[in-house]
Amino acid sequence: MTNRQEYDVAVVGAGITGLICARQLHQAGYRVAVLDKSRGVGGRLATRRLHGTWADHGTCYLSVEDDRFRGFVEQLIAAGVLQVWTDTIHELGADGQLQPRGPVDRYVAPLGMTAVAKFLSADLTLHLNHRVEALELTTAGWCLRALAGSETESKWVEVLAPAIVIAIPAPQAQLLLQPLADLVSPELIERLQAVNFFPSLSVMAGYPPELLSEWQRAYPGVKAMTVLDDPTLAWVGLDSSKRSSPTQPVFVIQSSATFADRYLDTADLQPPATELLHHLATRLQPWLASPDWMQIHRWRYAFTRQPLGADYLAAPTSLPLVCSGDWCTGRKVNNGFGAGLATAAWIMTKLPTIKI
């Protein structure tokens, strides 16, 4: 039997855009449901709990880009979610030299960047582990059909709402809406197809506690570095420096898009993780090739290559349907934040006129 639930707005995607949009609508008094295929909220605001600590394997930090986002960051600081991490990120050149870039404050969550998403979702109605498989415009409104639960135990859930927000990566939105191309317009599908992404592989690695002093002697004051002109590496962060009482040095290493492309559909990612660490060891310290433990995560849609160029993409349908995300205007959290605000504002101009 299919479970059916009704709301004013259904938001597909619990990343920064979906959560900001849902929070704005919820605070305005609308009944909002957020559906996401994952077990947790945040999207690329991702933290993994492992070996007694945390590792931010998605968004590494937040920086203030405009006054509106500054207000959001200050709210998170006041709530105890964020704190300043560093004002300097280094650049590792092809010649092996490190150059500091700053001073610009970078903010992190000591309990992991997912804490930002948890803060935003505290009062929202969440349907996690809900993979939206189909969307239909009916006489009762938009009907979302989602498969809820695990692969071994799942059920179909239907969500009815007069307004839909699709806040997932553009390629995923395009797949969901392709069967409705004539309804949502071929132009919308084409604009979604034009948005593409760079992939990335993120390796989380922990090392013996005594090696922290080795790092600090070799790279005093260095908490993170971007890697320039390297076909394998893009980012190296001493992730444990974000924690209040780290027990061991933990690094997050992000690959280049070129390296990730080679392994994007590889079933076993342990060999590329090992390759990435060995390459890192040749660039920095030999001991980085031999961690106590490591895990790897594949980001198929890590960074927007070609943004949409607008805050959202609305369909010319009788009931509101809109696609949005950080990919609309860029690749950072502040882009997703702005997209969420703009999308919520657009939805609120449409809801009062709805007649079902």
Residue 347 belongs to a domain with what CATH number?
3.50.50.60
Residue 319 lies in domain = 3-45+118-196+306-353
- Pair (208, 343) in one structural domain: no
Say how far apart CA 183 and CA 35 lie, in whole Å.
22
CB 348 within 8 A of CB 31: no
* pLDDT confidence of residue 3: 80
Residue-wise pLDDT tens digits, 277-304: 999 999 999 999 999 999 999 999 999 9
- Pair (29, 125) in one structural domain: yes
CATH number, domain with residue 276: 3.90.660.10
Q: How many domains does the chain have?
A: 2
- Pair (226, 270) in one structural domain: yes
| Type of residue at 47 | T
- Pair (260, 233) in one structural domain: yes
> Closest by alpha carbon to 171, among 305, 55, 274, 39?
305
- Pair (125, 189) in one structural domain: yes
> Tokens 């009916």 map to which residue?
138
- Pair (326, 212) in one structural domain: no
Residue-wise pLDDT tens digits, 76-85: 999 999 999 9
Return the percentage of the chain with pLDDT > 70, whole number.
98
How would DSSP label each residue in 177-234?
HGGGHHHH-HHHHHHHHH--EEEEEEEEEE--TTHHHHHHHHSTT--EEEE-S-SSEE
Element (H, E) at 95: none
Q: Which of 264, 281, 304 is the last residue of a domain?
A: 304
Residues 137-160: what's their mean pLDDT?
91
Q: Is the bond into 307 cis (omega within 30 degrees of 0)? A: no
71 in any annotated domain: no
pLDDT averaged over every residue in the chain? 95
Say how far apart CA 211 and CA 213 lie, in whole Å.
5
Say how far apart CA 206 and CA 239 lie, in whole Å.
10
- Pair (176, 91) in one structural domain: no
CA–chain centroid gap for 96, Å, is: 31
How would DSSP label each residue in 41-73?
S-TTS-EEEETTEEEE-S---B---SHHHHHHH
Minimum mean pLDDT range among 145-154, 265-274, 304-313, 322-331: 145-154
Say how far apart CA 352 and CA 190 lie, in whole Å.
30
* pLDDT confidence of residue 353: 56
pTM of the model: 0.95
SS3 (DSSP) at 147: strand
Q: Are strands 250-255 and 130-138 parallel, antiparallel or unpaired?
A: unpaired
Residues linked to residue 34 through DSSP beta bridges, in sequence order: 11, 126
Residue-wise pLDDT tens digits, 170-210: 999 999 999 999 999 999 999 999 999 999 999 999 999 99
- Pair (169, 289) in one structural domain: no
CB 123 within 8 A of CB 139: no
- Pair (245, 126) in one structural domain: no
Say how far apart CA 325 and CA 311 lie, in whole Å.
8
